[in-house]
Amino acid sequence: MNIEKYLRLTGFLRKGSYPDIKIPSPGEAEDIKAAPSTLFHVDDHCLVLGDAGFRERGMSLGVFLIMVPVMVAFCVVFSYLMVSVQEYLYSVIFNAFALFVAHPFILAAWFEITRSSVYPVVFNRKTGKVYFFSDQDGRPRQMPWQECSYAVAYKGRSIVACRYELRGFIMSGYRVEDSFSFGDTVYLQREAPKEGMFYFLNYIQAFMEHDEDFEKPERLMSWRPSLTESARHTIPRLVTNNTTVNVLSTVFYRSMCVFFSWQILGHYLISRYGKIPQWPQEIIDECGEGIILK
């Protein structure tokens, strides 16, 4: 059975659609550049980012770790209280129904565990290439930076916001041959993405083409994050020059850490102990040892 296809049919995993949205040039974007939060490594030649799904990875595992044990415990207690044969029969039926309800979460968690925890993308300004893992077969590929097409991809809508990502496309005429996501998933309250989405690409473009405009970020993300880093990445915290806003942001952040502890735990376990794809030696020779995921 194709688990990925099954999960899409049941609504637990959705494939993104990619509208034709033009990304403005750095001049049109007023030279504002925002560093993506999934920036793992920066050196003189290479910039390494995670895929756009890294923030949400581990969500299904977190639901599984919380929901399934609770359902099993409830079924055990319910079965223990049964005394007659008829009640035991009801218990068996109830347990089977509970397993049926929980099986999408079990499959979704298994799907996350068997996949890699992150799919890095490397932008190398020395070679002028972008290195990524194919969406088609998961194998590493490389393409000239200028030969890739980039667009904002609409991933779908959650309960509270629309979800977008930046995606690179390998085109064959008018047909998409392959693609890769990079940066981060951005949540917006309206259907059309704001220009802030484009600044992520402008940041990368500044690294690849305009060295004098590029500014290294103060903090890098770890591809083997600690529990604190997982919480910080799963629930981004607003930091401003306003003390009141910062205090309210801290209170909200800590409250959300408790409420979304299942997602933080799932993200931590997947990132810390999940599989990580490795680059072939020829790409390591071109980009350096810094791109090796350890």
Q: DSSP letter string over 3-68?
A: HHHHHHHTTSS---B----PPPPTTTTTT-----TTEEEE-SSEEEE--TTTTTTTHHHHHHHHHH
Residue 165 bridge partners (DSSP):
153
- Looking at per-residue confidence, does 44 or 215 come out higher? 44
What's the confidence (pLDDT) of residue 132?
A: 92
CB-based contact 235:201 (threshold 8 Å): no
pTM for this prediction: 0.73
CA separation for the pair 210, 199 (Å, rounded): 14
pLDDT in tens, 117-149: 788 899 999 899 999 998 888 889 999 988 888
Domain boundaries, the chain: 15-57+117-221, 62-111, 224-275
Give the mean pLDDT of the chain.
73
- 229-238 — which CB contacts under 8 Å span 24+ positions? 230/58, 230/264, 230/267, 230/268, 230/271, 231/257, 231/264, 233/37, 233/38, 233/54, 233/55, 233/267, 234/55, 234/260, 234/263, 234/264, 234/267, 235/260, 235/264, 236/37
CB-based contact 3:12 (threshold 8 Å): no
- pLDDT band, residue 204 (cuts 50/70/90): confident
| Residue 79 parent element (H or E) | helix 59-80
Q: Is the pLDDT confidence value at 19 over 50?
A: no
Candidates 113, 159, 37, 138; CA nearest to 267 is 113
pLDDT in tens, 86-107: 767 777 777 777 778 777 778 8
The residue assigned the tokens 């998409």 is 176
Neighbours of 22 (CB within 10 A): 10
Lowest mean pLDDT among 133-142, 153-162, 187-196, 197-206: 187-196
pLDDT in tens, 230-264: 777 776 555 445 566 556 666 666 666 666 777 78
